Structure 1
Amino acid sequence: MKILVVDDEPLARERLARMVERLDGHELVAQAANAEAALQLIEERDPDVVLLDIRMPGTDGLVAAEQIAERPNPPAVIFCTAFDEHALDAFGTSAVGYLLKPVKTEQLTQVLDKARRTNKLQRAELTDSAPAAGNGQRTYLSAKTHRGVDLIPIDNIRCLIADQKYVTVYHTEGEHLLDETLKDLEQEFAQQLVRIHRNALVAIAHIQGLERNAMGQCRVRLEGIDTAPVVSRRHTQSIRSLIQQL
């Protein structure tokens, strides 16, 4: 991956640049001391990843990240900063990751590996256009985390459960909170998800059967996860019929 390092402190910038140069599979294409120079270098060098300081004179890193995101086919952004108080602001952006200075090689390697896996998908996220299938439907959901943005393949999703204003997606790699409504998700993924309760959707392709718990509640058994969401009485018969057709 081609990497641009942006930091107004020469020593910090050179140190990070040397760390990048020592990593296999990564190329340092340029360095910049401020956001304005960084934007120009992005135009000229087309980096895959920008390691971006947050606290800089003039345009700071958070504003620069927003400007980068507005570009066509933008690079992935990884914030680097010595200031903990910026964390919440940084996590409110579509950054791939967040590194606290002094950056350690192991941490840099981990976040660059993450950027390598999600680079093309992250670019779509930065332009506010999540990856979509040929029919225009998304193939990933995005969830903001303390690391930045995680992309969850639709095929990995097993169920979504709403709790007040939040929706939790349960998938093969764990669970995440989504900033989306259950109703919108049901409409968009009507072919993949089915409602089993006013607060729950499950992935049709991964339904293994129905079971009753000690309280007599009917639950859906799903492939790949231990969570078995409750089926409401209203939806029980339709889910039984669906399972018979699978």
Structure 2
Amino acid sequence: MDVLIVDDEPLARERLTRMVAQLDDTRVIAEADSADDALTAIERFDPDVVLLDVRMPGNDGVSAAQTISQMDDPPAVIFCTAYDEYALDAFATHAVGYLLKPVRAEQLETVLNKARTPNKLQKRTSSATTSQGRQHISAKTPRGVTLIPLDDIRYFLADQKYVTVYHTGGEHLLDDTLKELEEAFSDRFLRTHRSALVSIPHIQAMERNSEGQYEVRLEDTSHRPPVSRRHAATLKALLHRL
């Protein structure tokens, strides 16, 4: 489990880092001292969990959590704060937990274990089945609208506001968001990264590149979509079942 710690007090970040280091299969991958820096770090490091303070310079933690909850593939949020009056607002952002400082190690471990509970997407990938609904997606081109069969699609990749579909006939920009595609075709495509959905029937293997990062090897393409640490376990489990 990869953790991002967000607190404007260095000593508070250091204390949480020490406690996280004592837990199995859990590590701190980044720190931030403001809400804005936290959002940037989420996009860059794709953490599983954010340990988030409430009162910080600039935007507060609650507003940051609201923004996080609206992301396509949001990490779990656990508030770590000295103030108890923000609890209702915090849980309205779908936070997993609300810990009061000084945070105790056993409390942190309990709420982190709660964050490990498989989400709906992970549960759905326990069985890879064929969609009985839409069998095509539509892409606008200079010549009009092109229908692309799902069987021809290898993966979708998001880059800022745009999503590109890569298929046996080439690639096209889409109007759909990655979140919309994931919801529509959850039994056909698996989220491997904040920016990538890959075709389950065409997955061949998960491999490391020269920089040690995970990638997916897919049938009929040399492209290797990325796999974040956050999604690696789900993909490994799926590969064992295929």
TM-score of the pair, normalised by structure 2? 0.49
- If asked which structure has higher relative contact order (CA below 8 Å, sep 6+), I would say 2
